[in-house]
Amino acid sequence: MYIVAIGWAYVILMMAITASSIGKALAILIFLGVLPLALFVYAFDRPGRRRRRSVAVADEVADQGDAADSQSDQR
């Protein structure tokens, strides 16, 4: 997935370098580079976000279980 994003960023960077003015170059970088790449990475990183969320929830549940266990030990 990241190789596609890197390739796209390279192509857009080359387009911006050859633009006739700074304003056009910035518009190309923002509207053809940054915004589409952000959307692409967000959309295709969905499994990673889901995995990180499930790990965080599992850690939270484990911490709650540990807290309950330590309370019973203190009595």
Residue range 4-31: mean pLDDT, rounded: 95
pLDDT confidence band for 69 (50 / 70 / 90): low
C-alpha 12/C-alpha 1 separation (Å) is: 17
Tokens representing residue 61 in the block: 């549940």
19 in Cβ contact with 25 (< 8 Å): yes
| 54-65 pLDDT, tens digit each | 766 666 666 665
- Whether 72 shows a pLDDT value over 70: the answer reads no
Share of the chain above pLDDT 70, in %: 72
Q: What is the residue-averaged pLDDT of the chain?
A: 82
